[in-house]
């Protein structure tokens, strides 16, 4: 009997344990379910946070920024076997803007900050103060100081074309950038900005004048004449005379020299300086300062009356060679910078020493956000080498001579062939 009772007690005890075990087994899924129930709320919170971050990044204020503040770094081009050089240079779109044709987005004009996020009388030949270039290594300066000097040498160039057609008088314009490189008012810019001056006065193109502006906002300094444009560029890019708005190019030979011939009434040239320059190309991973007058997101009214310069610190991603000489690095890429816009063509790229080392020429600007775009800059070493091939003189020698003689030599000996190349009867 005791045994039977003992067995009954044991059986009851085991039943209680089983019941408790069953309760715990049911409770675990409820705990998991509760955790799963919290997941959508957390996901929404994370999504909202990500959305806020994206919105802030896409705002793209016209301030000096550092690459770390870009919203997304675009894929990098793959270099070839050489760790220092990628070849050939990619064929991308020029970043000149047809200013008069721009509608679209109208941005509110606000004076940009003069700090990086990291840290005279009218004369026939205006004189621009200049810092003497030096080939000797110089200690790095604060980016804010380099920025101020870079902006004082930066100009906006608006070339306005007026032609009489069967439908009446056609008026159009393009807007780009440039940099003073000589105290006598010589400006380094792109050939695809300056070429309308080469065609000025022809029946096919009409009359063209190029206005030089500077400051914040940009104000007229005077009008420019064409000092030099490579015949090789005209021969390779004749189609630009028909399309005018955009064209694909590697950037080879895409440079020109303009000359500020006369000062605009009231223009204060004492606030402008000529940038020191070096015939070099920066290394991969090297930081540089880029400055220009981009206009892509502005209306024609803003471009006309309230255009401000924009500058940013960028990092060189790749260096490329042109197919004409694959052994020499000639152009370099700057991904994810706010200046990857139309109108930035001809803008300057400056080293930590303050010396000009390149000019913006083309860019992959099809992406909606500048953070997903890539700029390409033509090195001063490439400009210097091209001039030697075309004229027998480097950039320093060209600038050292009599500018009136240089301009006459180009007008009489080179300009007719440039025009012939650009106006080939292909249309």
Least confident of 235-249, 296-310, 413-427: 235-249
Q: What is the pLDDT of residue 89?
A: 55
CB distance 231 to 414 below 8 Å: yes
Tell which wins on pLDDT, 381 or 170. 381
pLDDT of 407 over the 50 cut: yes
13 within domain boundaries: no
CB distance 163 to 202 below 8 Å: no
Give the DSSP H/E element, type plus range, for residue 249. Answer: strand 248-249
Q: What is the pLDDT of residue 316?
A: 97
403 within domain boundaries: yes
pLDDT of 397 over the 90 cut: yes
Q: Which residues have CB under 8 Å from 62's CB, separation 6+?
A: 110, 112, 308, 310, 338
2 within domain boundaries: no
Domain containing residue 196: CATH number: 2.40.10.120
39 within domain boundaries: no
Nearest to 128 by CA among 154, 104, 167: 154
112 within domain boundaries: yes
45 within domain boundaries: no
| pLDDT level of residue 109 (50, 70, 90 thresholds) | very low
Q: What is the pLDDT of residue 131?
A: 45
In whole angstroms, give the CA distance from residue 283 to residue 349. Answer: 13
Sign for the pseudo-dihedral over CA of 414, 250, 193, 128: negative
At 325, list the tokens: 């000489």
49 within domain boundaries: no
192 within domain boundaries: yes
How many structural domains is the chain composed of?
1
pLDDT of 114 over the 80 cut: no
**What is the span of the domain harbouring residue 257?**
64-422
Q: List % helix, strand, coil for the chain (3-state, nearest 5).
A: 35, 25, 40
Which whole number is the average pLDDT over 68-97? 42
């Amino acid at each position: 009997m005791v045994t039977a009772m003992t067995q009954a007690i044991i059986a009851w005890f085991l039943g209680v344990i089983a019941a408790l075990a069953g309760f715990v087994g049911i409770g675990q899924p409820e705990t998991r379910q509760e955790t799963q129930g919290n997941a959508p709320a957390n996901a929404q919170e994370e999504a909202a946070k990500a959305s806020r971050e994206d919105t802030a990044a896409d705002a793209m204020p016209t301030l000096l920024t550092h690459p770390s503040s870009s919203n997304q770094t675009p894929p990098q081009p793959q270099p070839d076997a050489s760790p220092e050089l990628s070849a050939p240079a990619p064929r991308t779109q020029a970043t000149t803007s047809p200013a008069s044709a721009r509608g679209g987005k109208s941005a509110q004009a606000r004076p940009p900050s003069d700090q990086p996020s990291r840290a005279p009388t009218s004369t026939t030949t205006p004189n621009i103060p200049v810092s003497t270039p030096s080939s000797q290594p110089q200690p790095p300066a604060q980016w804010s100081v380099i920025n101020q000097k870079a902006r004082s040498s930066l100009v906006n160039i608006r070339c306005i074309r007026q032609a009489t057609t069967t439908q009446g008088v056609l008026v159009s314009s393009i807007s780009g950038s440039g940099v003073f490189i000589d105290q006598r008012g010589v400006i380094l810019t792109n050939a695809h900005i300056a070429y309308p001056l080469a065609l000025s006065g022809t029946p096919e193109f009409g009359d063209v004048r190029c206005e030089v502006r500077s400051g914040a906002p940009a104000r007229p300094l005077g009008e420019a004449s064409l000092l030099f444009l490579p015949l090789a560029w005209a021969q390779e890019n004749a189609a630009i005379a028909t399309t005018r708005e955009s064209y694909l190019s590697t950037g080879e030979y895409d440079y020109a020299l303009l000359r500020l011939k006369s000062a605009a009434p009231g223009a204060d040239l004492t606030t402008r300086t000529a940038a020191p320059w070096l015939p070099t190309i920066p290394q991969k991973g090297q930081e540089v300062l880029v400055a220009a007058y981009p206009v892509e997101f502005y209306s024609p009214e803003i471009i006309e009356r309230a255009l401000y310069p924009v500058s940013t610190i960028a990092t060189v991603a790749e260096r490329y060679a042109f197919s004409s000489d694959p052994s020499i690095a000639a152009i370099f890429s700057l991904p994810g910078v706010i200046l990857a816009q139309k109108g930035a063509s001809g803008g300057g790229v400056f080293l930590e020493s303050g010396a000009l080392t390149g000019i913006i020429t083309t860019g992959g600007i099809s992406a909606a956000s500048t953070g997903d775009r890539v700029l390409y800059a033509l090195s001063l070493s490439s400009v210097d080498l091209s001039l030697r091939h075309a004229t027998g003189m480097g950039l320093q020698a060209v600038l050292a001579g009599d500018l009136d003689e240089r301009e006459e030599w180009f007008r009489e000996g080179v300009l007719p062939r440039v025009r012939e190349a650009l106006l080939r009867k292909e249309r």
